[in-house]
Structure 1
Amino acid sequence: MEHPHENHETPPSFWRSRFAIGYLVIGAVAAYYLLTEHLAHVVGVLPYLILLACPLMHIFMHGGHGHGSHGHQHSQNKNDKNGSPS
């Protein structure tokens, strides 16, 4: 039995394409001009950006607090109630 989809290569990642390199260069140039020409405006907004970073870090970084090991803890608690796990 032959499977026609086995020999297909995965498409290249976006970050390894020409477009991504171009976007990174344009972003770096824009950041340079923003910082050199509008430094007073950037420094004025900096406290608000720090306050905005706090809730964003809570949203995106609280995933690593052991949420994936609920089943493992449950089996340990079950073994503790029944005695030794032998």
Structure 2
Amino acid sequence: MVHHHDNSPDPKRDEGVRRTFLRTPAGLALCLFLAIGGVLLWLDHQAHILGVLPLFLPLLICLGMHFFMHRGHGGGHHEQ
């Protein structure tokens, strides 16, 4: 028995597959624009950002912990 694997692109097979926004040209352009803007803001306002960082650091830590620690809860569906 011989198995033949066709690796050619099949438009019918990819019809239901949607690309995420970040994998589109517009998404990549947005990421690039935000990265360049972030670097420019950092270079121009570094002293201001570092001066305010101690005030916002606890808030950022709490938000980060909340975001990353709730990933294991099954999307909010609790079993009883």
User: Higher RCO, 1 or 2 (CA under 8 Å, sep at least 6)?
Assistant: 2
Unaligned segments of structure 2, at least 5 residues: 1-12
Structure 2 partner of 1:31: 38
Unaligned segments of structure 1, at least 5 residues: 1-6, 72-86
Structure 2 partner of 1:51: 58
Q: TM-score, normalised by structure 2?
A: 0.61
Q: Cα deviation per residue 1:16-53 (whole Å; 9 max; x = unaligned)?
A: 00111111111111111111111111111211231112
Q: Which runs of 4+ in 1 moved over 3 A?
A: none
Give % identity.
Answer: 27
Please state which structure has a larger fraction of its residues in helix. Answer: 1
Q: TM-score, normalised by structure 1?
A: 0.57
| Offset of residue 64 of structure 1 | 5.6
The higher radius of gyration belongs to 1
Structure 1 partner of 2:20: 13
How many residues align? The count is: 64
